[in-house]
Amino acid sequence: DTGVSQNPRHKITKRGQNVTFRCDPISEHNRLYWYRQTLGQGPEFLTYFQNEAQLEKSRLLSDRFSAERPKGSFSTLEIQRTEQGDSAMYLCASSLGRRGSYEQYFGPGTRLTVT
């Protein structure tokens, strides 16, 4: 059973460019979450999916951010017109989402640096 994988692991981009991150959850996990973490802070929730349905979005997720999970498997997080404030670690997690199995398992993260 492989864990949650994220690609790329590191991304350096210039301000104003668009970036896309990918997350592959643990197989059979119904729920998929995106978080953002800045230095010295705990992760902050961005959005999550139950299968292909996006159930909740944080107010942190401005119009420049969009997430998808087509077919309820992998997910992508796109940031348009990146700003320096978007520099952070973007973490993906997945869970079975069933009673007794709510633990979220995290991937290694994608570190974004906007120059």
Partner 1 sequence: SQELEQSPQSLIVQEGKNLTINCTSSKTLYGLYWYKQKYGEGLIFLMMLQKGGEEKSHEKITAKLDEKKQQSSLHITASQPSHAGIYLCGAGPYGNKLVFGAGTILRVKS
Query: Taking the complex as a whole, how short is the minimal distance between the CB of residue 81 and partner 1, in angstroms?
Result: 26
Amino acid letter for position 92:
C
Contact (CB, 8 A) for 76 and 22: yes
CB 7 within 8 A of CB 110: yes
Q: Which is nearer to partner 1, 66 or 80 (CB)?
A: 66
Contacts with partner 1 by CB under 8 A lie at: 4, 6, 31, 33, 35, 40-45, 48, 56, 58, 89, 91, 93, 95, 97-99, 102-109, 111
Nearer to partner 1, 82 or 104 (CB): 104
Distance in angstroms between the alpha carbons of the first and the last residue of the chain: 37
Q: Which is closer to partner 1, CB of 78 or CB of 102?
A: 102
Residue 102, φ and ψ in degrees, nearest 5 = -100, 0
Question: Nearest distance from residue 89's CB to partner 1, in Å?
Answer: 8
Q: Least distance to partner 1 from the beta carbon of 11, Å?
A: 14
